[in-house]
Amino acid sequence: MKEFYTYEQQLEKLRKDGLIIVGENEAIDFLRLEGYYNVINGYASTFKVDNKFCKGITFDDIRYLYDFDKSLRSIVYKYTSSIETHIKALIAHEFSRVHGVDEKAYLQKENFTQNGKAAVAVARLIDECNSTISEALNRNSNKYRQYIAHNHDVHGHVPMWVLIRALSFGTTSIFYKNMLDDERDRVADNYNITADQLANMLEVVVSYRNIVAHGERTFCARLPKTRLSTNLEITKKLCIAKNDKGDIKFGRNDFLSLLICCKYLLPSIEFAGFITELELSLDGLSKHLSPPMMGKIKILMGLKSNSWKILPKLK
C-alpha cells in the first residue's frame, strides 16, 4: 500500500535520491499547487540513472522541464485545433455537396463505406451523430447547442457543416475514415496526399490532441498503437537515422511524427509559426539545463538531429 507523505517528507525522499533542493519553501509551494505525482512521477525519471538523480540535478531542473512541457501542450493544442477546424470545414463541404443538407438523408449507411468491418463502425458513427443532434436539441442537457437547435427549429434540418462543430476531433477522424472513397480522395487532394495517408495523419494528430487535452506528459510521449507511415516524401527528405533492421528510429509515434503531420496539414505560415514557437521553447529550456540533458530531451522527442528545423522549407 502506498504511504502518505507530507510535503517536507516528499522533499526529504527526493534528497535521499540525490536531488539538490535549494529553496525548500518554494519547492513546497510548487508541489502544493502542481502535485507531487504530476511533477516528480512525471518528470524526475528524465534526470535519473538507476533510480538515482544524476550529479548536480536540482529541483529547479525538474520544474523547468515541467514548465516547458506545459508550454509545449499549449502550443500543440493551438495548432492541432487549427488542423481540426480545417479538416472539419473540408469534410463538411465535400460531404454536403454529395449528400445534401438534411441529416435524415445524409446520415444513411449507404453514404459511407461498407468495406470489411466498416459496417459496424459506420453504424456506431451514425448513432453518435444522431445522438449528438438529439442531445443538442435538449435545453435541459449540458450538451445543448444553440446553433444546432436554431437550424433544426428554423430550417427544419441540421446541415453537416453545423453538426460537425459538435463532433469531437476523434469522431471527425472516424467520420473521414468511413467516407466513400471518391469523397475521401477529394478531401485529401487539398493536402496533396492520399486518402489513406490523411486518415493515418489524423489518427496521429488526434492522439496527440488527446494527450495535451488531458494534461499528460507530451515531450516524450509515445503513441501506443498509432504509427505514422514511413512512405511519406517529407519523412524521406529528413534522412532519419535507422536501426539495425533498417527502420527509422524516429518519426513514427513520437513528437517528430506530429511535426511531420503538421507539415502536411497546416498552411505554410501556420506551420512556420509552430516551428518558431517550438524553437523558442526549447531555447528557453536550454538556458537552464545542461547540454547533455538537453540532448537527452531532444532524443526523447525524436528531435536528435536538427533536420526538423528545415521542415518549413521542404516541399
Q: Which of 175, 182, 173 is nearest to 127 (CA)?
A: 175
Q: What angle do CA 172, 177, 181 make, to 5 degrees?
A: 130
**What does the pLDDT look like over 274-285, one tens digit per residue?**
999 999 999 999
Confidence label for 117 from pLDDT (cuts 50, 70 and 90): confident
Q: What is the pTM of this model?
A: 0.94
Cell of 159: 446541415
**What does the pLDDT look like over 58-95, one tens digit per residue?**
999 999 999 999 999 999 999 999 999 999 999 999 99
Q: Tell me the β-bridge partners of 58.
A: 20
Q: How high is the pLDDT of residue 200? A: 98
Confidence label for 239 from pLDDT (cuts 50, 70 and 90): confident
For the chain, the average pLDDT equals 95
Q: What angle do CA 193, 188, 265 make, to 5 degrees?
A: 70
Interacting residues of 210 by C-beta distance below 8 A, sequence separation 6+ = 170
Q: How high is the pLDDT of residue 144? A: 81
Answer whether 161's CB lies under 8 Å from 169's CB: no
Confidence label for 34 from pLDDT (cuts 50, 70 and 90): very high
The whole-angstrom separation of Cα 235 and Cα 94 is 29
Confidence label for 51 from pLDDT (cuts 50, 70 and 90): very high
Q: Where are the beta strands (DSSP E) in 74-186?
A: none
**Residue 242 φ/ψ region, left for φ over 0, alpha for ψ in the -120 to 50 degree band, beta for the rest:** beta
